[in-house]
Amino acid sequence: MVKKYFCDYCGTRFAYSPEAWRRHVRGVAHVRARAEHYRQLSSPRELLRSEQARRPCRRRSEPGGCLFGDSCVFSHLSQEELARLRAAVAEVAPSLRPVEVTLSPGQVAEWG
Ligand SMILES: [Zn+2]
Ligand SMILES: [Zn+2]
């Protein structure tokens, strides 16, 4: 049996190898799906507010980065990420978008 990775974010399968994994997580589709996943977890509006209230972390740009990671009191978002977050907040509410639903053949039969 061929081993495959399954990516929860993208809902896709790909070869079970470090190279394939690396290629996948760097892919545009994955980055987008992952961002979307986190966007749904916490409201972008709240996230933007908390990030804007914090000063940018100076250690983050140093070699080795900031040791505090996600628990740092300073903001770790780059200007680009902050701009993307602002754009996300300005976007239409997620509930107004078409939702894609996948049904299994069994469910379809049940509902006639
Ligand atoms: Zn993925
Ligand atoms: Zn930091």
Question: What's the 3-state SS for 62-94?
Answer: CCCCCCCHHHCCCECCCHHHHHHHHHHHHCCCH
Ligand nearest to C-alpha 31: 1
Q: Tell me which residue has tokens 């993208």.
A: 10
Neighbouring C-beta atoms of residue 10, cutoff 10 Å: 19
Is 0.85 surpassed by the pTM of this model?
no
Mean pLDDT, range 45-63, rounded to an integer: 85
With cut-offs at 50, 70 and 90, classify the pLDDT of residue 93. low
Q: What is the pLDDT of residue 102?
A: 58
Contact by Cβ (8 Å): 59, 66: yes
Contact residues for 57 (Cβ-Cβ < 8 A; gap 6+):
66, 68, 72, 74, 75, 76
Using the mean position of ligand 1's atoms as its centre, give its distance from the Cα of residue 104 in Å: 22
Using the mean position of ligand 2's atoms as its centre, give its distance from the Cα of residue 44 in Å: 20
Ligand nearest to C-alpha 10: 1
Q: What is the pLDDT of residue 1?
A: 60
Mean pLDDT, range 75-81, rounded to an integer: 87
| Region label for 11, one of left (φ > 0), alpha (ψ between -120 and 50) or beta (otherwise) | left
Structure tokens at 22: 């690396």
